[in-house]
Copies of this chain bind each other. A is one copy, B any other.
Amino acid sequence: MVKMGVAHFSGSYSPVPSDTMYSSTLLSKSSIKTSPAFTLNNQVFQTHIPKPLNNNFHSSQPLTLKSLKVRAMDTQEGVPSMPSFDFHGIDQKLVDRMVYDSLVWSSLHGLVVGDKSVQRSGKVPGVGMVHAPFALLPMPFPETHWKLACEVAPIFNELVDRVSLDAKFLQDSLSRTKKADAFTSRLLDIHSKMLDINKKEEIRLGLHRSDYMLDEQTKSLLQIEMNTISSSFAGLSSLVSDLHRSLLDNYGKLLNLDSKRVPGNTAASQFADALAKAWTEYNNPRSTVMVVAQADERNMYDQHWLSSLLKERHNITSIRKTLAEIDAEGELQADGSLIVDGQAISVIYFRAGYTPTDYPSESEWRARLLMEQSSAVKCPSISYHLVGTKKIQQELAKPNVLERFVDNKEDIAKLRKCFAGLWSLDDSDIVNKAIERPELFVMKPQREGGGNNIYGNDVREALKALQKEGTEEDAAYILMQRIFPTVFSTFLLRDGICHKDDAISELGIYGAYLRNKERVIINEQCGYLMRTKVSSSDEGGVAAGFAVLDSLYLT
């Protein structure tokens, strides 16, 4: 168990709240107990929870030294050196000032979420607000890997588009999953219906986020997953980069850190621009963008930032509707256009609908089908959504599959470089290896929404149980190589309290893709999301659920 350093804020000591960022879920179908989910106000962290391999931080030492030391670690095999932010020498008064300033900054600049402890905070804006959890300082990250991640973003965008056009590949790849996972099955049904009516999506909008971890041992940037629906935190992560730059502008000299090494993050405005361009392509000046939202959404301000930028920068109005409301208020016109609550909808932006719990009744599925049948631009379409499943990710990682969708060999090499080991459970060799060495694997369910990954000995137990059952159940999972990122000590802020702890980070790169028939209008990388969480070796421990928004510091 890693010892935890708690930074004293305003002179008062507060222990880590034990339950607010932590939730444990059960797989409804298989009843296999999973490891805890990492939730940030309903948005779940998808990352692995490694055992810390590198614990340089000694929390038992007193905080007395006057300045922060940036120390270069050993390099190996030509990989650039990575400085470790050594916080055990940082002046506590300086930390207190930065904590106070950053909390004020968050409040004045809309870096906020709904507070779980306030009942209405997920429904009514403006009440029960609390600063979004964030890291006090950016996480060091090698510039070469950052550049690589940015570089592959447009290639991934295009890959998603190409794969989405191969309906047979999608249906075939997911055919076994369909039998084992009811949610994927319903999505595939809609996909089939669209094939039956020969539905064409001329304007195709993707707002993706590709998530990576930097593997400590291989020094390689490995993709965790590709999000093609409801890629969250574009709004808030842009603000965290601004916050960190502002803090380093004020305190950077004392810390020997340069604010210019925090990359600018225009994810929010670029996503808003992409939505606006899709609206323009649809070409109905009286139409509106519809945000499909969950009824209770504590991460609403992240979404409101996009709507606000859409209005301020492009004078385009957006409305928010739940799937149930769309079922009740939506109708298709004879020409295929969608009217919801009396308003013509040109662009449908999904911030709900990615997880089974978003479809508690047939009403929600009717709404999803209705939207898919319409001529509105869907972000994402059902086929884009399916491309984002773990199974497709795993299929694409197989030999010679990328070649079916990407022409350029250099591009293929770049993508493949990011692929972690991915296997289906019908590969008995790999299943046996995972039973033998479960610590090297993660077992992942198909579903988005995360938090259902299986780690450690649970992998062995789950695989054995599936072998015994001998059903199609195994098709609901894939196996993935477990990634062990570098551990850094950092300061994590939540609920006004600053905690010092060892942590690991996951980098998400946003990408926007817009195409109208053969004309590609946008294909670009759009800022980033850095998420950092406590790397407790005690996977079941309460501290493990503590994850925050972050930015990166190029090294």
A residues at B contact (CB < 8 Å) = 9-10, 100, 103-110, 112, 115, 120, 123-131, 250, 301, 304-305, 307-308, 311, 317, 495-496
In the complex the two chains form, is A107's CB within 8 Å of B100's CB? Answer: no
Q: Given A106-B126, A124-B496, 16 more contacts at CB 8 Å?
A: A9-B124, A10-B124, A104-B126, A104-B301, A104-B307, A105-B308, A107-B126, A107-B304, A112-B129, A115-B127, A115-B128, A125-B131, A125-B496, A127-B130, A127-B131, A127-B495
A9 to B124, CA, bound (A): 9
Q: Are B126 and A304 closer than 8 Å at their CB atoms?
A: no
| Nearest CB on B from A140, distance (A) | 25
Establish whether residues B124 and A130, one from each chain, have CB atoms under 8 Å apart when the complex forms.
Answer: no
CB-based contact B304/A108 at 8 Å: yes
Q: Which residues of B contact A112 (CB under 8 A)?
A: 107, 129
Docked-complex contact B311 and A250, CB < 8 angstroms: yes
Provide the residues of chain B in CB contact with A127, threshold 8 Å. Answer: 103, 115, 130-131, 495-496
Asked if B126 contacts A130 (CB within 8 A), the reply is: yes
Q: Which residues of B contact A107 (CB under 8 A)?
A: 110, 112, 125-126, 129, 301, 304
Whether A126 lies near B496 (C-beta < 8 A) is yes
Closest to A114 in B: B107
A-B contact pairs, 26 of them (CB 8 A): A9-B124, A10-B123, A103-B126, A103-B127, A104-B307, A105-B308, A106-B125, A106-B126, A107-B110, A107-B112, A107-B126, A107-B304, A108-B110, A108-B301, A108-B308, A109-B110, A115-B127, A115-B128, A120-B496, A124-B496, A126-B130, A126-B496, A127-B130, A127-B496, A250-B311, A250-B317
Q: Which B residues touch A105, using CB under 8 A? A: 308
Residue of B nearest to A497 (CB): B124
In angstroms, Cα B117 to Cα A127, docked, is: 11
B305 and A108 within 8 A (CB)? yes
A416 CB → nearest B CB, Å: 41
Which of B123, B124, B131, B308 contacts A126, CB < 8 Å?
A: B131
Q: How far is the CA of A311 from the CA of B104 in the complex (A)?
A: 13
The minimal Cβ–Cβ distance linking A9 to chain B, given in whole angstroms, is: 7
Q: Which B residues are CB-close (under 8 A) to A115?
A: 127-128
Closest 10 CB pairs between A and B?
A103-B126, A126-B131, A108-B110, A129-B129, A124-B496, A127-B496, A103-B125, A104-B125, A104-B304, A107-B126
Chain B nearest Cβ from A84, distance in angstroms: 28
In the bound complex, CA of A110 to CA of B301 (Å) = 12
A178 to chain B, nearest CB (A): 38
A304 to B103, CA, bound (A): 11
A311 to B249, CA, bound (A): 11
Among residues of B, the one whose C-beta sits closest to the C-beta of A130 is B127
Q: Which residue of B lies closest to A301 (CB)?
A: B107
- Whether the pair B130, A128 counts as a contact (CB closer than 8 A) is yes
Measured CB to CB, the nearest residue on chain B to A108 is B110
Bound complex: CA A128 to CA B112 (Å): 11
Tell me the complex Cα distance, A55–B215, Å. 71
> What B residues does A317 contact at CB under 8 A?
250
Set of chain B residues within 8 Å of A109, measured between Cβ atoms: 110
Report Cα–Cα, A296/B178, bound state, in Å.
58
* Cα-based distance from A226 to B108 in the complex (angstroms): 29
Chain B residue nearest to A123 (CB atoms) is B10
A158 to chain B, nearest CB (A): 33
Cα separation A389 to B226 with both chains bound (whole Å): 66
* Cα(A108)–Cα(B110), bound, Å: 4
Taken together as a complex, chains A and B put the C-alpha atoms of A125 and B250 apart, in Å, by: 19
Which residues of chain B are within 8 angstroms of A110 by Cβ–Cβ distance?
107-110
Cβ of A185 to closest chain B Cβ, rounded Å: 34
Cα A274 to Cα B65 in complex, Å, equals 38
Bound: A126/B113 CA distance, A? 10
Q: Which residue of B lies closest to A342 (CB)?
A: B93
Contact across chains for A124 and B108 when beta carbons are under 8 A apart: no
Structural contact, B308 and A104, CB atoms closer than 8 A: yes
Closest to A305 in B: B108
Task: Name which residue of chain B comes closest to A239, CB basis.
Answer: B108
B residues less than 8 Å from A301 (CB atoms): 104, 107-108
Name the B residues within 8 Å of A106 (CB-CB): 125-126
Q: How far is the CA of A317 from the CA of B124 in the complex (A)?
A: 36
Question: In the complex, how many angstroms separate the beta carbon of A99 from the nearest chain B beta carbon?
Answer: 9
A10: chain B residues within 8 A (beta carbon):
123-124
The chain B residue sitting closest to A117, CB to CB, is B118
Smallest distance from the beta carbon of A376 to chain B beta carbons, Å? Answer: 21
The residues of B that contact A131 with a CB separation of less than 8 Å are: 125-127
Q: Tell me how far the C-beta of A493 lies from the nearest C-beta in chain B, rounded to whole angstroms.
A: 8
CA gap between A10 and B320 in the complex, in Å: 12
